[in-house]
Amino acid sequence: MNVDDIFKAPKVPMGGNKRRMPDAPTPEMLKRMKMDISAKPVNGSEEMMPPPSANGMSAKAKGKSRAVTVEDERDDDAMDEDTDFAPGNDADYYVEEDDEGRFFGGGLTSEQKTILSIFEKAGGEGEDGGAAADDRDELNITAVRRMLLRFERAADKNQDQRSKYPDDPSKFIDSEADLDSAIKSLLPLAQSPALAYPELIKSGAVAKLIGLMSHENADIMIDVVQLIHELLDEDAAAGDEDDDDDEGEGREGAVKALVDALLEYSILELLVDNLPRLNENEEADRQGVFDLLGIFESMIGINPQLSTHLVSKTTILPWLLKRIAAKNHDGNRGYAAEIIPILVDNRENKLALGKIDGIETILKVLSQYRRRNPSDADETEFMENVFDALCAALTEPENKKLFLDAEGVDLMVLMMKDKKDSASQCIKVLDFAMSGAAGTTCCETFVEALGLKTLFSAFMGKAGKKSKGSTSNPASAISDETGHILGVLSSLFTNLPSESVARTRLLAKFVENDYEKVDRLLDVRESAVGRLKAVDKEIDVEKKEMLAEGEEIGEVEQDRWYLRRLDGGLYTLQTVDYILAWVCMEDDGILAHAQQMMSRRGRSVKDVVEVLKVFRDNVDESDESASSGTAAAADDASPPQREILGGLIGFLESVP
């Protein structure tokens, strides 16, 4: 059989779709036409035409002579000279025709179609091929048990052969390949956690998977890590949007049960112990590190309390700090920076970060962005995550001292002066470092490092040039940078000692250039008032609807509405009025100017008093007690905020 002849493409007619007869028919064509009339079976029958009668034509053929002639003429338009019954010998030329007479066949003869059919059937065959296809198409309890059984057999066989032939890899290489395939075949279990995970736990496969974490072949360990990452992925617990509540709870419960089962075998410690085995210069190992970090993120997302166990019982935090300190940036470095803020979500872990010189390490990492911007969006996200980790750590007084000792305040001021992309993040860090009674020393260091000039330059930046626009559109939102600048100013007025040089320099900034900083404060205040009005209207509508339906408005609803008002502009308004009250109380010129500008807007200092009263009434008493405890340990600590607010309110109420 000649393969070239079998797959020979049909001839394409030239000069149009309709073929034309040649001017002079060839002898072969005349002979074939004669055979078609006299010897061709009629209507597909095998019976030959009867011999002609005396007039040269049989009776049966006589009535059909016209039809044959017309049929031959019509068929000849689509026939090729070498074709028996259809163009290109396509076996399905007429069978595959659609309703409108298009797409005749596939261009293949019946013999060609038979050969391709044989190849297709051969391609679908193979060991466990049918079972694997069934498992993918429909995952049921039988399929799950079959997959788990196959995995257990592969694991036992590999362990047995490795123990028998430890020095001869050729004896167990095949079983290792089977084990690799069996582990990967369990990935579809993540599609049905409620169905598959209880069976996975009950079968004892979890113990075998954990045992393979110490397998001599690192590729097997990577397979297990990839599988666990897939099983714990947030999509597995979330499910589809179409799932009902019961099914969603079933998924979530199954994932939590799997986490508990993994924790029984010290999964967190094993994962961290395997990190040194992975060489990130290799693609497979690099992906293994990514999956391993993904397991940490998933498990902490399912059970946030695991972050304390992970930090206290393993060396993950030093490894993450070392990883972000690498010079070359890649995906795993960015992922490591994303995990650190997730871990430092409680006091124990924040203090642990400080004890291993984490504050200094983070400052060294951030110093590279003093004179250059991140190269791309991924590195920008990396930088922001590192800043977030530092801000989270600085909520603890002990870390603020470490930050100050590592010259963190000076570094932040220098980075602000360079005005790179990191400048706004530096302001946020200073806001966290200088807040509270423990931030007093940081406030003094900030002024000594000439940070006031840079801070007010940012405060009067583009927003300052567009102050008129802000007045005309009071509902415009306040940027995060402006919010953190206000936070820094609030901490400075709270923590800087009275009559000190640093405080005098701060007040002088509000006096210079015809009180332009005070004008800027009032512009920000109007913007916050406009935003708050819109939120108050929404809350009033909700209150009326609840009262109309006979529902009671309790403390829970009041607290919820207060939080909404804080997000909707009240927090900014409180901070601005706190700063205004301070500058008005300490300088008569500022007070007169502020009164004049507020009267033009139809407002007075009484409006500031009302805002500060709400602020005072909602100060968290637990924070006050903690602040008092810190104040007792520091001679230069500021008084509690509630006491400060009371003094400011008393002064403004006495203003005529």
Output the 3-class SS for 148-167: HHHHHHHHHHHHHHHHHCCC
Task: Say whether both 460 and 507 belong to one domain.
Answer: no
Residues 231 and 150 in one domain: yes
CA distances from 430 to 140, 197, 309, 435, 555 (A): 56, 47, 30, 8, 35
Specify whether 297 is located in the same domain as 391: yes
User: How many whole angstroms from its chain centre is CA 97?
Assistant: 49
In this prediction, residue 25 carries a pLDDT of 52
Average confidence (pLDDT) over 225-242: 76
Cβ(222)–Cβ(168) below 8 Å: no
Phi, psi angle pair for 186, to nearest 5°:
-85, -5
pLDDT band at 321 (very low <50, low <70, confident <90, very high): very high
Look at 82-91, 607-616, 634-643 and tell me which has the smallest mean pLDDT: 82-91
Domain membership flag for residue 53: yes
Least confident of 118-132, 182-196, 317-331: 118-132
In a domain, 425, yes or no: yes
Among 445, 472, 499, the domain-final residue is 472
pLDDT for 223 beyond 50: yes
Residue 229 has pLDDT above 80, yes or no: yes
Quickly state the pLDDT bin for 470 (edges 50, 70, 90).
very low
Tokens coding 397? 């007084």
250 band by pLDDT with thresholds 50, 70 and 90: confident
- Among 84, 79, 87, 37, smallest CA distance to 58 is for 37
Q: Which residue has the tokens 């006050």?
A: 624
Residue 101: predicted pLDDT: 45
Last residue of a domain, one of 472, 500, 520: 472
- Shared domain check, 488 and 420: no
Query: Is residue 410 in a domain?
Result: yes
Section 64-86 average pLDDT:
44
CATH number, domain of 261, equals 1.25.10.10
Percent of the chain with pLDDT over 70: 71
Residue 494 shares a structural domain with residue 465: no
Of 124-133, 145-154, 361-370, 378-387, give the lowest mean pLDDT range: 124-133
92 and 168 co-located in one domain: no
Residue 118 lies in a domain: no
User: How many C-beta neighbours within 10 Å does residue 549 have?
Assistant: 7
**Mean pLDDT for the stretch of residues 528-535:** 94
Report whether pLDDT(347) > 70. Answer: yes
Contacts 24+ apart (CB under 8 A), 516-519: 516/460, 516/464, 517/456, 517/459, 517/460, 518/580, 518/583, 518/590, 518/593, 518/594, 518/597, 519/467, 519/597
Quickly list H helices, 9-140: 27-38, 59-62, 65-75, 110-124, 129-137
Same domain, 426 and 574: no
Domain housing 165: 135-472
- Report if residue 401 sits inside a domain: yes
Residues 432 and 502 in one domain: no
Closest CA to 322 of 377, 282, 372, 361: 361
Query: In this structure, are 345 and 421 located in the same domain?
Result: yes
Selection from 48-57, 75-84, 538-547 with the highest mean pLDDT: 538-547
| Position 111 confidence tier, pLDDT thresholds 50, 70, 90 | low
Identify whether residues 94 and 140 lie together within a single domain: no
pLDDT per position as a tens digit, 1-59: 454 554 444 444 444 443 344 445 555 655 555 455 444 444 444 444 444 444 444 44
The answer to whether position 235 is within a domain reads yes
Is residue 353 one of the residues assigned to a domain? yes
**In angstroms, how far is CA 175 from the centroid of its own chain?**
37
In the block, tokens 């099983």 appear at 231
Q: What is the pLDDT of residue 596?
A: 94
Would you give the distance in Å from CA 580 to the centre of its chain? 41
Q: State whether 425 and 518 are in the same domain.
A: no
Asked whether residue 18 is assigned to any structural domain, the reply reads yes
Give the tokens for residue 622.
């637990």
pLDDT at 124 > cutoff 50: no
Res 623 pLDDT > 90: no
> Is residue 401 within 8 Å of residue 352, measured between CB atoms?
no
Give the confidence band of 243 by pLDDT, cuts at 50, 70, 90: low
Average pLDDT over residues 495-522: 94
Whether residue 86 is found in the same domain as residue 150: no
Tally of structural domains, the chain: 3
Percent of the chain topping pLDDT 90? 62
Rg (CA), the chain: 41
